[in-house]
Chain A
Amino acid sequence: MPKLETIAVAMSGGVDSSTVAAMLRAEGHNVIGLTMQLWNQRRLAGHEGMPETVTGRCCSLDDVYDARRVAEHIGIPYYVVNHEERFERDVVRPFVAEYLSGRTPIPCSLCNNHLKFDQLLVVAQQIGADCVATGHYARVEFDDARGRWMLKRPTDRSKDQTYFLFGLTQEQLSRTLFPLGEMTKPEVRELARKQGLALAEKPDSQEICFVPGGDYKRFIDAYLAERGEALPDTAGELVTASGEVIGGHSGIHNFTVGQRKGLGVATGSPLYVIQINGADKQVIVGDSEHLYSRTLRARRVNLIAIDDLREPMRVSVKIRHRHEPAAAVLEKTGGDEVLVTFDEPQRAITPGQAAVFYDADMVVGGAWIV
């Protein structure tokens, strides 16, 4: 029998976190359900290009309703905590600013670093919980030899969420539980059914929780309009890799590295966005082969498995969520910058995304691609 603790469960109203709450409750822990209210989905409703009503989305009333019903069903206290101001400051505004600077951000990692494993841990501690459990697919364990908390890939590789968790500190990891780390999604659904959870068949959420329909361009327009801020003019030139100007573009925030469609120019061979130059508002285009690169630089490094990167290290590096980690050498080039040199060139290395370093199952650390 594991030691019984007071555990706050971050409940989103989805199957995974609901099952976590039910599991821990069944094990006899003192469980408190918490849902973070992060974004008011009605806020931009009705703005141009935004849906009039939003249902079935993160922080929507439907999800809060589902989470509340689960809490009631398994018999735990449940609260919604409001972190809208912090979410807007630490996730939404950087998300908008990154796009307007020509980068492609990952809001989920920012949310994990600044909200779920920061603010929520604070609330959990304040209300007397020993730790926070979430429905992420990842494993956390203490390595006695290293004296460090380790983040590891989950049993169900298809659900691996460690890419979004690379920013967790030792302190955060020490107070975090990922009870689904050794389960597969079908097993989780089966457990949800066994626990009698009405939402056992609820579909997984996919897109960025605050961007309806995944249309980030419309979101940026509507968000700036609501705040009474003008959309900065980010229009500029479309330039080839050799420096030839072949046209204009509507704004750098409308482009992502690797993008092929919507360039507005017709040429013989397919053209791709190979680079976005924020300072000059240039979108650089080229052939498929120009998309491949052997190196990347990344900053704001967070190390998990080791305390410092003293000498070059062989790792596998993941450069976007849906990317198979590729063999590379990782080395420190400055106080807070690393250089990754891949064995084989990688396609569409995108500034704003994270580079996460793995040693087999273990997350060594990660940093933001520049």
Chain B
Amino acid sequence: MRRIYLDNNATTPVLPEVLEAMRPYFGEHFGNASSIHHHGQETRAAVERARDLVASLLGCRPAEIVFTSGGTESDNLAIAGLTSAGDHVITSCIEHHAVLNACKHLEDKGCEVTYVPVDGRGLVDPGDVRRALRPKTRLISIMMANNETGVLQPAEEIGKIAGEADVHFHIDGVQAAGKVAIDVKRIGCQALSISGHKMHAPQGVGALYVRAGTQLQPLFYGGRHERSRRAGTENVPGIVALGKAAELAMHGFERGDDKKISALRDRLQQGILAQIEAAGVNGDGAPRVPNTSNIYFDHVEGESMVISLDLKGMAVSTGAACSSGAIEPSHVLIAMGLRRDRARASIRFSLGKQNTADDIDLALALVPETIMRLRELSPGYTKTAVSS
């Protein structure tokens, strides 16, 4: 069976160039980057080259990059590392659970947290962030791009508000890195999280930008790795891969890969909407990353849709998987004001650099056929005339 993978916001395949770049660091270049001998020097140099590349991607200095195990660790390091008991924190209700649950934990530890809402398009209103400020506000943590809808938040405006209030600003940039250009100086943030496997590097590596001069409490205690900001022997192959993925992302922006992906995404989205009635884009009208389209199909159970498509070889997703793997209605779509049944009827399509026009053609054949069949089995559905 030919398989099409359109779930790149969950994870991306490691690109061949990235795999090639990291491969020697499992074998011949195996040294511990902290060792003083030749082997250590080799891997230290590789780690620092990777740091340069990641810093270029984000527009910062290499010393401002801390390598971590991934997006969740980066988010936790920023949130726990920039606050202490008694502080007030502002975040949004559409954040990833890595941020939401880190904030919930802060509440248990004696912090207060304000969760600002979003509008029907999935956008945070910077005015809400400004109005939530209190004398004790220490940190604002807002994502750059939402993982489910791809909606880009007004990061620069929020950065300005944070700067004027002299409050730390952390951005969860996991779903933005590699998809849109990021410049931490323009945003004016103190911290920004990225994850390797969302940008064609492997799972298990990520980074946190921390602006020079920012006091950050570490999560782990151990050796003085990463300038004492993240103890633990470096994941050298992963870090090398992240550096390579950052380099490829920058080349991609120069070549216009993002425009190519958005053209494919738009063709998919328009093709689906042209063929299927009672469907629409969640987050329509808001700026979005080029690869994501979250579409509701009324009278369809998203779960059955995802399973049906998977059995035909097409990978997409719906909602958020809970620990058993069952699907819960998306907190993001609910926060946008979608009815629960519409939230459950929503499917996320997310493209990656490996996707081709053929993938989209096949998707445009499979999706309408599957939706039609599911609707025929749905008691609430009656076909209405579609104006052509």
Asked if A32 contacts B311 (CB within 8 A), the reply is yes
Asked if A123 contacts B304 (CB within 8 A), the reply is yes
Q: How far is the CB of B364 from chain A (nearest CB, A)?
A: 20
Q: How far is the CB of B1 from chain A (nearest CB, A)?
A: 11
Asked if B377 contacts A126 (CB within 8 A), the reply is yes
Residue B322 CB within 8 A of the other chain = yes
Residue A127 CB within 8 A of the other chain = yes
Asked if A37 contacts B326 (CB within 8 A), the reply is yes
Compute how far the CA of A35 lies from the CA of B327 in the bound complex, rounded to whole angstroms.
12
Residue in A64, A79, A84 whose beta carbon sits within 8 Å of that of B307 in the complex: A79
Compute how far the CA of A82 lies from the CA of B320 in the bound complex, rounded to whole angstroms.
11
User: Given A81-B303, A123-B303, are A128 and B325 also a contact pair (CB < 8 Å)?
Assistant: no
Q: Which residues of B contact A82 (CB under 8 A)?
A: 303, 322, 326-328
Asked if B324 contacts A61 (CB within 8 A), the reply is yes
Residue B374 CB within 8 A of the other chain = yes
Asked if A127 contacts B325 (CB within 8 A), the reply is no
Q: Which residues of A contact B373 (CB under 8 A)?
A: 126
User: Given A80-B324, A80-B326, A81-B326, are A127 and B377 also a contact pair (CB < 8 Å)?
Assistant: no
Asked if A79 contacts B377 (CB within 8 A), the reply is no
Instruction: Please give me the residue from chain B that is nearest to A119 by CB atom.
Output: B301
Asked if B377 contacts A80 (CB within 8 A), the reply is no
Residue B382 CB within 8 A of the other chain = no
Residue in A40, A64, A123 whose beta carbon sits within 8 Å of that of B325 in the complex: A64
Q: Which residues of B contact A35 (CB under 8 A)?
A: 324
- Chain B 365-378 near chain A by CB (<8 Å), digits 1 or 0: 00000000110010
Compute how far the CA of A81 lies from the CA of B328 in the bound complex, rounded to whole angstroms.
10
Residue A122 CB within 8 A of the other chain = yes
How many residue pairs link A and B with beta carbons under 8 A? The number is 51
- Chain B 300-327 near chain A by CB (<8 Å), digits 1 or 0: 0101100110110000000000111111
Instruction: Please give me the residue from chain A that is nearest to B379 by CB atom.
Output: A122
Compute how far the CA of A37 lies from the CA of B326 in the bound complex, rounded to whole angstroms.
6
Q: Which residues of A contact B327 (CB under 8 A)?
A: 81-82
Q: How far is the CB of A31 from chain B (nearest CB, A)?
A: 12
User: Given A122-B377, A126-B304, A127-B304, are A80 and B311 also a contact pair (CB < 8 Å)?
Assistant: no
Asked if A128 contacts B377 (CB within 8 A), the reply is no
Compute how far the CA of A82 lies from the CA of B303 in the bound complex, rounded to whole angstroms.
8
Asked if B310 contacts A126 (CB within 8 A), the reply is no
Asked if A80 contacts B304 (CB within 8 A), the reply is no
Residue A247 CB within 8 A of the other chain = no
Compute how far the CA of A128 lies from the CA of B305 in the bound complex, rounded to whole angstroms.
11
User: Given A77-B311, A82-B328, are A126 and B322 also a contact pair (CB < 8 Å)?
Assistant: no
Q: Which residues of A contact B324 (CB under 8 A)?
A: 35, 37, 59, 61, 64, 80
Instruction: Please give me the residue from chain A that is nearest to B306 by CB atom.
Output: A79
Asked if B308 contacts A127 (CB within 8 A), the reply is yes
Compute how far the CA of A366 lies from the CA of B220 in the bound complex, rounded to whole angstroms.
62
- Chain A 117-138 near chain B by CB (<8 Å), digits 1 or 0: 0000011011110000000000
Q: Which residues of B contact A59 (CB under 8 A)?
A: 324
- Chain B 151-188 near chain A by CB (<8 Å), digits 1 or 0: 00000000000000000000000000000000000000
Q: How far is the CB of A10 from chain B (nearest CB, A)?
A: 14
Compute how far the CA of A59 lies from the CA of B325 in the bound complex, rounded to whole angstroms.
11
Q: Which residues of A contact B308 (CB under 8 A)?
A: 126-128
Compute how far the CA of A182 lies from the CA of B189 in the bound complex, rounded to whole angstroms.
68
Asked if B325 contacts A126 (CB within 8 A), the reply is no
- Chain A 26-40 near chain B by CB (<8 Å), digits 1 or 0: 000000100101001
Asked if B311 contacts A126 (CB within 8 A), the reply is no
4 extra interface residue pairs, beta carbon distance < 8 Å, beyond A32-B307, A82-B303: A35-B324, A77-B310, A122-B377, A126-B308
Closest 6 CB pairs of A and B: A37-B326, A82-B326, A126-B304, A80-B325, A80-B326, A64-B324
Identify the B interface with A (CB < 8 A). 301, 303-304, 307-308, 310-311, 322-328, 373-374, 377
29 intermolecular pairs with C-beta atoms under 8 Å apart: A35-B324, A37-B322, A37-B324, A37-B326, A40-B322, A64-B324, A64-B325, A68-B325, A77-B311, A79-B310, A79-B325, A80-B325, A80-B326, A81-B303, A81-B307, A81-B326, A82-B322, A82-B327, A122-B377, A123-B303, A125-B377, A126-B304, A126-B307, A126-B373, A126-B374, A127-B304, A127-B311, A128-B308, A128-B311
